């Protein structure tokens, strides 16, 4: 018997997504024991991506969430969906070797491209749109480091453009910074994306029970039993923890840690934002990143702190938002940088910026996804692909790169 997951106060404040309507879902109370082929614990973006994939493969899925769907970290997300991993390819290659680093970056790109195509094919209405992504020199990669990153990415087959400071200034009005321009990232409303995928899974027969807290799990070679706080039991062939930053117990961490982050959204700006409304992020630590919102707001975040303590995170909200406003105003002086929405949340980091996805060692038929960091949504899409292959018995050539048993 394993205790299920940690419990955290995941976020404070209000994100702009929470002020926008999202579709309602057919969630219901759990009044008796149930059986399914797969139980997914967690109905945020990760649970939604996995449920959508598994129901398409014909599996019988039950989803549970102790808060309710889309009430965890997902509505706090700023939702810049990028294939470019927070850890630059040149740095990752130094750490893991060029071959592994390239494979990880390529798979991230493949997962994002597949997500774009899937959302379009399924007709999910989530304000999904393509955006280029401008990566600015900073204290992690200076101009020379950016040039090297450009070369390494080109050698790996990525389309990317290196921009001198004068080109960045001429196109975006940002002074004194070289940049790398990547193509075909995405933006979305993370709540609507989650709701749309969950709706599709439910239309295919998935059952969504909430609020239901899984307290203990008994993993066995033939079946898994998940016990709820109210004394109900879910029986399944497989159990998947899609529990975000409330980490499942007994899962190898592989350097993953929960930390804190802050974000704001301005009012809709009265005048133009910036060229192409591309995603903008810095090769800095801590970094600043921004995107346009659905009505011409600026959504901006960063200033990450290497601690998960919620009281400390919340106490810093005012100070961190003031810093974000100041940095935003400095970067783009023509914007009104005042926050209309301000929020903070738990976040994740791993030494390589990569997620861990797959079977949990020592817990038969149980799987987890720790889809960390600034690519959490891309990694949720990747988890959908990998876990579908795993549960359908086909396997995936990249599974080992993200597994809990990897040796790097
Ligand atoms: C401020 C912020 C900005 C971000 N920006 C980006 C970005 O720009 N791009 C990007 O790709 N990613 C970004 N991320 C990361 C991304 O948003 C997250 O990785 C993602 O939302 C996590 O989704 P999830 O479904 O894994 O977790 P959650 O949304 O937290 O869902 C997990 C669910 O599991 C439930 N749960 C936990 N334990 C149990 C239990 N024992 N029983 C029942 N239910 C349980 C919880 O109630 C919760 O609802 C950002 C995150 C934050 C916080």
Strands 339-349, 257-266: pairing kind? antiparallel
Cα(156) to ligand 1 centroid in Å equals 30
188: helix, coil or strand?
coil
**371 ligand 1 Cβ < 6 A:** yes
CA-263 nearest atom, ligand 1: 1
- What is the Å distance from ligand 1's center to 246 Cα? 9
Q: Measured in angstroms, how far is the CA atom of residue 73 from the centroid of ligand 1?
A: 4
Q: Cα(first)–Cα(last) distance of the chain, in Å?
A: 29
Average pLDDT, the chain: 96
Ligand 1 centroid to Cα of residue 44, in Å, is 6
What letter does residue 255 receive in the DSSP assignment?
T
Give the model's pLDDT for residue 4. Answer: 84
At residue 2, the pLDDT reads 62
Q: Is the minimum distance from the CB of 46 to ligand 1 under 6 angstroms? A: yes
Q: How far apart are CA 92 and CA 100, in angstroms?
A: 9
> What DSSP letter does each residue of 302-338 carry, written as one string?
EEEES---HHHHHHTHHHHHHHHHHHHHHH-TTS---
CB within 8 A of 74, min separation 6: which ones? 44, 45, 190, 191, 194, 244
- pLDDT for res 88: 97
Distance 34 CA to ligand 1 centre (A): 25
pTM of the model: 0.97
State the pLDDT at residue 1.
61
Domain with residues 2-76+191-254+354-402, CATH architecture: 3-Layer(bba) Sandwich (3.50)
Predicted confidence at residue 22, as pLDDT, reads 86
Residue 40 bridge partners (DSSP): 63, 240
Query: Which ligand 1 atom lies nearest to the CA of residue 379?
Result: 11
* Ligand 1 mutation target, pool 25, 72, 241, most atoms within 8 A of CB: 72
Residues in the chain where the model's pLDDT stays below 70: 1-3
Task: Give the pLDDT score at 3.
Answer: 63
Cβ 235 vs Cβ 35: under 8 Å: yes
């Amino acid at each position: 018997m394993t205790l299920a997951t940690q419990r955290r106060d995941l976020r404070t404040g209000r994100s702009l997504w929470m002020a926008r309507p999202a579709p309602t879902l057919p969630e219901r109370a759990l009044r008796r024991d149930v059986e399914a082929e797969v139980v997914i614990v967690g109905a945020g973006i990760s649970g939604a991506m996995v449920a959508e994939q598994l129901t398409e493969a014909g599996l019988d899925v039950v989803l549970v969430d102790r808060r309710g769907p889309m009430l965890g970290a997902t509505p706090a997300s700023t939702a810049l969906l990028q294939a470019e991993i927070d850890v630059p390819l040149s740095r990752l290659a130094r750490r893991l070797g060029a071959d592994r680093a390239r494979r990880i970056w390529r798979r991230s790109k493949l997962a994002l491209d597949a997500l774009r195509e899937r959302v379009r094919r399924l007709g999910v209405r989530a304000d999904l749109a393509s955006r280029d992504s401008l990566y600015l020199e900073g204290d992690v990669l200076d101009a020379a480091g950016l040039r090297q990153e450009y070369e390494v990415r080109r050698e790996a087959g990525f389309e990317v453009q290196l921009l001198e400071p004068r080109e960045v200034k001429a196109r975006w009005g940002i002074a004194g910074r070289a940049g790398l321009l990547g193509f075909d990232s995405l933006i979305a409303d993370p709540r609507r994306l989650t709701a749309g995928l969950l709706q599709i899974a439910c239309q295919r027969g998935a059952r969504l029970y909430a609020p239901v807290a899984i307290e203990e799990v008994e993993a066995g070679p033939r079946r898994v039993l998940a016990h709820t706080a109210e004394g109900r039991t879910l029986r399944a062939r497989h159990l998947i923890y899609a529990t975000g930053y409330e980490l499942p117990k007994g899962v190898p961490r592989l350097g993953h840690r929960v930390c804190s982050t802050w974000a704001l959204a301005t009012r809709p700006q009265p005048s133009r934002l910036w060229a192409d409304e591309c995603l903008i992020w810095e090769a800095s630590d801590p970094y600043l990143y921004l995107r346009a919102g659905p009505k011409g707001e600026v959504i901006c975040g960063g200033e990450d702190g290497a601690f998960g303590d919620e009281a400390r995170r919340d106490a810093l909200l005012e100070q961190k938002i003031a810093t974000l406003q100041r940095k935003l105003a400095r970067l783009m002086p023509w914007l009104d940088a005042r926050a209309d929405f301000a929020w903070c949340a738990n976040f994740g980091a791993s030494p390589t910026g990569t997620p861990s996805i797959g079977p949990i060692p020592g817990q038969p038929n149980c799987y987890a996804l720790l889809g960390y960091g600034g690519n959490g949504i891309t990694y949720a899409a990747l988890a959908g692909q990998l876990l579908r292959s795993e549960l359908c018995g086909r396997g995936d050539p990249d599974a080992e790169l993200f597994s809990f048993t990897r040796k790097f």
